[in-house]
Amino acid sequence: MKITYITADGTETVVEAREGDSVMQVAIANDIDGIIGECGGSMMCATCHCYVDDAWAEKTGPQNDGESDLLDCAASETKPTSRLSCQIKMRPELDGLVVHLPETQL
């Protein structure tokens, strides 16, 4: 499975992902600039904030319980497609997922 990360300046990086891995875990394992994940994916910070590409928003589903509260603390503007990347788990139907990264996480 593949994920495309697009930074705020438009740089695209495509990486391989395994089923069950979170979008945050894959980003950190592949040194993607723009995802920090300070809490390690325990949904205690908002440093893995991302914007799901409009074409993928329905497939990734709505924000999980508590996710919107943390996104209120995000350093960058939140949008309707804002998600915590630690909460998006890869599954076959997300092969090819595209996420956009905010300008800053801190």
Decide if 66 is inside a domain: yes
Confidence of residue 65 (pLDDT cuts 50, 70, 90): confident
The answer to the question of residue 106 being in a domain is: no
Q: For residue 105, is it within any domain? A: no
46 contacts 70 by C-beta, under 8 angstroms: yes
Domain count, the chain: 1
- Tens-place pLDDT, residues 4-52: 999 999 999 999 999 999 999 999 999 999 999 999 999 999 999 999 9
The domain that holds 71 is classified in CATH as 3.10.20.30
- Residues in a beta bridge with 12: 6
Which residue type sits at 84?
L
CA distance 1 to 102: 23
User: Which domain does 38 fall in, by range?
Assistant: 2-100
Nearest Cα to Cα of residue 56 among 17, 83, 34, 32: 83
Say if 38 falls within a structural domain.
Answer: yes
